[in-house]
């Protein structure tokens, strides 16, 4: 369960209001369902009391939304931490290469928090690269995905907090009316499909391909 998608409380930048709500609701959800994992749904910004707000946040405004990745995720009923990645929404005047460097730093920072402070897995539960960026080319999106995937895998292979990711957003053909500037049909671009497949299978291999079932097992064994 996700308590709320990208929760904010801009009337209380210090974060007390949101923290109280998260504590109350995570306790309530756990009381009625002890079987499913629970996360917050955070964008991953660091609040004004967190030193990383000055070194990792995309800009000063990110500390004013009443949320803090570490504080909000460090509740007893939250099973794993969540963060999002949208550099082209957070920045408007930086080059692609700078954006990639930020993404790598952002992912490593949150995984480090999971390892050192939270002692919990970290999932990057939403990320995308817009096709409305100036001079957009699909290869940029592949590079963006690969940067995230590589950081997660580097952590997972050491049994670290990097747990996995959810791309925003996958479609099958015929769903174009629901699409936005982030949506993709993976198999329409072979390099993107291969990138996602390889990432899924190499993460799966860390747990042992023999444990896989169904279509994922078939896909990964075929990929090998």
β-sheet bridge partners, residue 170 = 184
b/e map of 200-215 (b: 16 or more CB within 10 Å)? bbebbeeeeeeebeee
Tell me whether residue 151 is one of the annotated catalytic residues: no
Helix, strand, coil percentages in the chain from 3-state DSSP, rounded to 5: 50, 10, 40
Q: What are phi and psi of 27, to 5 degrees?
A: -65, -40
Question: Strand runs (DSSP E) across 44-186, as ranges?
Answer: 81-85, 122-127, 162-165
What are the tokens at 18?
């949101």
Structure token digits, residue 156 = 């997972």
Residue 218 falls in the annotated catalytic set: no
Catalytic residue among 6, 97, 198, 218, which?
Answer: 6
Best CA proximity match to 185, nearest among 124, 131, 125: 131
- Among the listed residues 24, 97, 126, 198, the single catalytic one is 126
Q: Would you please indicate which residues are annotated as catalytic (active-site) residues?
A: 6, 126
């Amino acid at each position: 369960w996700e308590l709320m998608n990208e929760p904010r409380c801009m009337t209380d930048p210090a974060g007390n209001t949101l923290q109280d709500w998260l504590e109350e609701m995570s306790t309530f959800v756990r009381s009625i369902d002890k079987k499913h994992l629970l996360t917050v749904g955070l964008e991953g910004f660091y609040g004004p009391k967190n030193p990383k707000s000055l070194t990792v946040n995309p800009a000063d405004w990110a500390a004013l939304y009443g949320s803090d990745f570490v504080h909000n995720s460090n509740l007893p009923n939250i099973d794993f931490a969540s963060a999002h990645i949208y550099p082209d929404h957070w920045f408007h005047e930086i080059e692609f290469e700078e954006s990639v460097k930020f993404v790598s730093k952002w992912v490593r920072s949150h995984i480090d928090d999971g390892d050192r402070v939270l002692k919990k897995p970290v999932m990057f539960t939403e990320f995308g690269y817009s096709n409305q960026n100036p001079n957009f080319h699909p290869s940029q999106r592949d590079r963006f995905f690969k940067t995230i995937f590589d950081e997660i895998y580097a952590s997972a292979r050491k049994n670290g907090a990097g747990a996995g990711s959810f791309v925003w957003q996958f479609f099958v053909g015929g769903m174009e009316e629901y699409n936005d500037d982030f949506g993709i049909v993976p198999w329409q671009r072979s390099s993107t499909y291969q990138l996602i497949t390889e990432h899924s299978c190499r993460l799966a291999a860390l747990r042992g391909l023999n444990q896989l079932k169904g279509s994922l097992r078939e896909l990964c064994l075929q990929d090998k």
